[in-house]
């Protein structure tokens, strides 16, 4: 059973298009995240939701809009895609206990904007 | 124009040797630290974590050391195997919202 899954795994699209990436976790976790990993492997948090409520919103262009229909799902919609949006996007989830914030990551979605 | 990016720090070890991967963190208020392993084409995978009230924690073949005085974290891998080849990230937790700040990453290459 896949704990954190993302679709699609690869996404190739043209500048100016709008696209969505979906994430689902079957771990029963309350908190979910979106991260962006650039070509230099730098991994940066974008958003976090706890029980469908946005709790972390980093300095991300407002073309990026997360949506959490329920606590097992966190989707990422991107409007007016730009070349600089090309990256690998990771979804993660966690259930913090006793001050531990171990996060479980999905396999990633490689977005290529041409 | 675009600046040339930095390459990931790399560590090359012989199979069977011990590996030590180092990480400097920035915020003295960080209270939780975690090491991840990322294999090519996959998401980061949890290895081991440590809270700031500890200075050492051991797992299976791995040990994490925390030196809060100099804000330094290290991951030691015993008897390194080819399957350990990956990029290793340290991360620190800055606040109670689970906001992990990731370090640059170190690429470990294990020679058979």
Condensed to tens digits (0 to 9), the pLDDT of residues B90-106 reads 999 877 667 899 999 99
* Chain A residues 3-22 with CB within 8 Å of chain B: 4
Q: How far apart are CA A41 and CA A20, in angstroms?
A: 22
Contact between A55 and B97 using a beta-carbon 8 Å cutoff: yes
Q: Are B18 and B77 in contact (CB under 8 A)?
A: yes
3-class DSSP assignment, residue B83:
helix
- In tens, the pLDDT along A5-50 reads 999 999 999 999 999 999 999 999 999 999 999 999 999 999 999 8
**From edge to edge, which strands make up the β-sheet containing B62-67?**
B19-24, B72-77, B62-67, B56-58
Query: Which pLDDT score, from 0 to 100, does residue B4 have?
Result: 43
Minimal Cα–Cα distance from B85 to chain A, Å? 15
Nearest CB partner across the interface for A42, out of B31, B36, B104? B104
Query: Chain A contact for B32, CB < 8 A?
Result: yes
Reduced to 3 states (helix: H, G, I; strand: E, B; else coil), residue A73 is strand
> Which residues lie below 8 Å from residue B42, measured CB to CB, with a gap of 6+?
A107, A108
CB contact at 8 A, B80 and B15: yes
Is some CB atom of chain B closer than 8 A to the CB atom of A39? yes
């Amino acid at each position: 059973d896949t704990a954190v899954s993302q679709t699609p795994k690869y996404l190739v699209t043209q500048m100016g298009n709008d696209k969505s990436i979906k994430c689902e976790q079957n771990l029963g976790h309350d908190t979910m995240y979106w991260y962006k990993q650039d070509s230099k492997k730098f991994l940066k948090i974008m958003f976090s939701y706890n029980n469908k409520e946005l709790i972390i919103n980093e300095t991300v262009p407002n073309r990026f809009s997360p949506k959490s229909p329920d606590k097992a799902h966190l989707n990422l919609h991107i409007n007016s895609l730009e070349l600089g949006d090309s990256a690998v996007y990771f979804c993660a989830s966690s259930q913090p206990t006793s001050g531990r914030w171990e996060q479980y990551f999905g396999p990633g979605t490689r977005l290529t904007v041409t | 124009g675009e600046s040339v990016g930095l390459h990931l720090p790399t560590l090359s070890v012989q199979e069977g040797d011990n590996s030590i991967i180092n990480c400097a963190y920035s915020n003295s208020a960080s209270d939780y630290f975690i090491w991840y392993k990322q294999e090519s084409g996959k998401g980061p995978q949890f290895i081991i974590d440590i809270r700031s009230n500890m200075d050492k924690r051991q797992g299976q073949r791995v040990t994490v050391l925390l030196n809060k005085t100099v804000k330094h974290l290290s991951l030691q891998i015993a008897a390194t195997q080819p399957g350990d080849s990956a990029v290793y990230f340290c991360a620190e937790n800055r606040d109670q919202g689970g906001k992990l700040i990731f370090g640059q990453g170190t690429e470990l290459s294990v020679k058979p």
